[in-house]
Amino acid sequence: MFVGTDVELPATVKRFLDEPTRTMLIGDEWTAAQSGRTLDVTDPATERVIANVPDAGEEDVDRAVAAARSSLEGSWGRLMPVERQDLMLRLADVVADRGEEIAHLETLEQGKLLEFSRLVEVDMAVDYIRYMAGWATKIEGSTFEISPRQPEGVRYHAFTRREPVGVVAGIVPWNFPHLMAVWKIAPALATGCTIVLKPAEETPLTALLLGELILEAGFPPGVVNIVTGYGESAGAALVRHPGIDKVAFTGSTEVGKQIGAEAMRNMTRVSLELGGKSPVLVLDDVGADFIAGGMVGGLFFNSGQQCVAGSRLYAPHARFDEMVGRIADYADFLKLGSPFDPNVHIGPLVSKAQQDRVLGYIESGREDGAEVVVGGKSPSSTGFFVEPTVIVDTDHEMKIVREEIFGPVLVAMPYSDLDDLITKANDTDYGLAASVWGQNISRVLELLPRIKAGTIWVNTHSVLDANMPFGGFKMSGVGREHGRAALDHYTESKTVCIAY
């Protein structure tokens, strides 16, 4: 079902959009690209161009890295941890105060429901900044006894310090643009690093607004720089820049591999949060409504554009038709339409390219002999919508089972016993996340160590938190974000050994 609506935007968002060309933030300057080139930003629900932003090149990246370096070696580098904490807490307040503006802008450029922009892009971001602010005052090393035999009278004292890794390049995708920007910026700020952030080409607007708010909160210029542009030009220039000490990347496995290889040329530190094809393992004691409701949040939320999306479902043979039938009923019930409309459940995909990609996958499934039970097409001629889709009669040879679709598409398969279930769940190049659904706690606990994934949820899916380490096994990445784990890769460990 499709619902359309006209939207009245807050005056502040209109002001933001009325500027004919947005500039980007380098040091304390709002600047165009040196080349003068720009790129368009499109509202995916209406296909209208809503803004254009600088298309940064190598020379702009050079300036941004220089601004970040000079800030690291200047006043920012000399701040006490408590001063960084206070600035971050002020930033969290400013982001919360301007939350409606951020949420509207995010829904406009990305297409996620306004309600979720408020909850995820704003509230979770505010909580995340506050959480990371707390770590600024708790960065610590260790002390060691050392073991070599020593001449009479010589003793040693050894300890480690954790020091900021330096200038960070944060490169983020378009699925949760504001939250992802904060996930890169906040640990950098907490650990005393500086950062150059490159948002995705489709969704640069909330990152630019965040840049405004960072200056408003009182951060010294150059601590955070926002450079807009394309991955192949601005992004690649950042990754190979010798002035970058660490790359924090979230995006596809394909680009992640290139970035990892490029970073290693300069021994640039790198953390990679990549794609997934996360399995949903349903045991035979689960109610059909329970799992169907779970798939709304675990897959269809954000039009399936979640790296952790539970996109492969395995249900017991005997209950397969019942469970998948119920999921199809729920999928069919979901209303598509303007993400500003409170009666709508599913907004558009982010871009025409993404819509074509998702529809292409569904078509390839059909060609391979799979059956589309529900959905499978675009419901309107305007806007990049794809219906929530459930596909059966699939097997592990098919592209739709092996590759990340990044849209509202579920492939469902039956299993015979728990060994079959585990074999199928692990038969993937990815290892980002998984969920197990079951009432018998002993059976659930037995499965957990056998699943190869960085995060496993039980009786839920897609729950992320600042305090829970997050990252992938296998092709889903390198390193862990969030929690104490994040601090390790935004700092270097320095060992000190003193003879006395």
Give the residue numbers marked as catalytic. Answer: 273, 307
Contact 104, 9 (CB under 8 A): yes
Interface with ligand NAP includes 55 (CB under 6 A)?
no
Nearer to ligand NAP, 55 or 341 (CB): 55
Q: Which stretch binds ligand NAP (CB under 6 A): 51-59, 166-174, 294-302, 318-326?
A: 166-174
* 487 sits near ligand NAP (criterion: CB under 6 A): no
Measure the CA–CA gap between 204 and 17, rounded to whole angstroms: 12
Bridge partner residues of 53 (DSSP): 39
Greatest Cα pair distance, the chain, in angstroms, is: 85
- The answer to whether the CB of 336 falls within 8 A of the CB of 3 is yes
Using an 8 Å Cβ cutoff, are 199 and 172 in contact?
yes
Question: Which amino acid belongs to residue 353?
Answer: A
Q: Which of 164, 173, 348, 438 binds ligand NAP (CB under 6 A)?
A: 173
214 binds ligand NAP (CB under 6 A): no
3-state percent helix, strand, coil for the chain, nearest multiple of 5: 40, 20, 35
* Pairs from 178-182 (Cβ < 8 Å, separation ≥ 24): 178/102, 178/106, 178/121, 178/122, 178/125, 178/206, 178/207, 178/210, 179/120, 179/121, 179/124, 179/125, 179/128, 180/250, 181/206, 181/207, 181/210, 182/95, 182/125, 182/128, 182/129, 182/210
Cα 261 from Cα 199, distance rounded (Å): 21
Two tokens, residue 326: 């119920």
CB-nearer residue toward ligand NAP: 328 or 350:
350
393-412 footprint of ligand NAP as x/- string (CB under 6 A) = -----------x-x------
Instruction: Select the residue interacting with ligand NAP from 2, 30, 144, 230 (CB under 6 A).
Output: 230
- Determine phi and psi for 133, rounding to 5 degrees: -60, -35
Residue 229 DSSP one-character state: S
Q: How far apart are CA 377 and CA 399, in angstroms?
A: 18
Query: Please, which residues bridge with residue 198 across strands?
Result: 171
Would you say 84 or 184 has its CB closer to ligand NAP?
184
Candidates 227, 244, 274, 346; binder of ligand NAP (CB under 6 A) is: 274
258 touching ligand NAP, by CB under 6 A = yes
Determine if 282 is a binding residue for ligand NAP (CB under 6 A): no
Q: Binder to ligand NAP among 239, 248, 405, 434 (CB under 6 A)? A: 239
Report if residue 273 touches ligand NAP, rule: CB under 6 A. yes
* Residue 351 vs 378, nearer CB to ligand NAP: 351
Contact between residue 398 and residue 419 where contact means Cβ atoms under 8 Å apart:
no
252 binds ligand NAP, rule: CB under 6 A: yes
Given 27, 164, 192, 231, the residue binding ligand NAP (CB under 6 A): 231
Nearer to ligand NAP, 232 or 419 (CB): 232
The answer to whether residue 46 forms part of the interface with ligand NAP (CB under 6 A) is no
Name which position in 235, 260, 375, 383 contacts ligand NAP (CB under 6 A): 235
Query: Residue 436 and residue 426: Cα distance in Å, rounded?
Result: 13
Shortest Cβ distance from residue 271 to ligand NAP (Å)? 10
CB atoms within 10 A of CB 31: 16
Residue 263 or 392 with smaller CB distance to ligand NAP? 263
Give me the count of residues in the chain. Answer: 500
**Residue range at the interface with ligand NAP (CB under 6 A); choices 4-12, 43-51, 82-90, 172-180:** 172-180
The footprint of ligand NAP on this chain (CB under 6 A) covers a number of residues equal to: 29
CB of 190 to ligand NAP, least distance (A): 19
Residue nearest to ligand NAP (CB): 231
Candidates 79-87, 211-219, 251-259, 290-298; binding stretch for ligand NAP (CB under 6 A): 251-259
Nearest distance from C-beta of residue 197 to ligand NAP, angstroms: 10
Task: State which of residues 432, 447, 453, 475 lies at the interface with ligand NAP (CB under 6 A).
Answer: 432
Minimum gap (Å) between residue 228 Cβ and ligand NAP: 9
Task: State the amino acid at position 202 in one-letter form.
Answer: E
CA 39 to chain centre: 22
CB atoms within 10 A of CB 97: 12
Nearer to ligand NAP, 37 or 161 (CB): 37
Helix (H) or strand (E) holding 277: none
Closest distance between ligand NAP and the C-beta of residue 233, in Å? Answer: 8
DSSP 136: T
Sign, CA torsion 64/66/67/71:
positive
Q: Which stretch binds ligand NAP (CB under 6 A): 69-77, 186-194, 233-241, 288-296?
A: 233-241
For residues 260 and 316, which CB has a smaller minimum distance to ligand NAP in the complex?
Answer: 260
* Among 284, 377, 301, residue whose Cα is nearest residue 339: 301
Cα–Cα distances in angstroms (integers) from residue 130 to residues 87, 92, 327, 444, in the given order = 10, 6, 37, 34
Cβ closer to ligand NAP: 273 or 341?
273
Judged by the rule CB under 6 A, the positions of this chain that interact with ligand NAP are 171-175, 198, 200-201, 230-232, 235-236, 239, 250-252, 255, 258-259, 273-276, 307, 404, 406, 432, 477
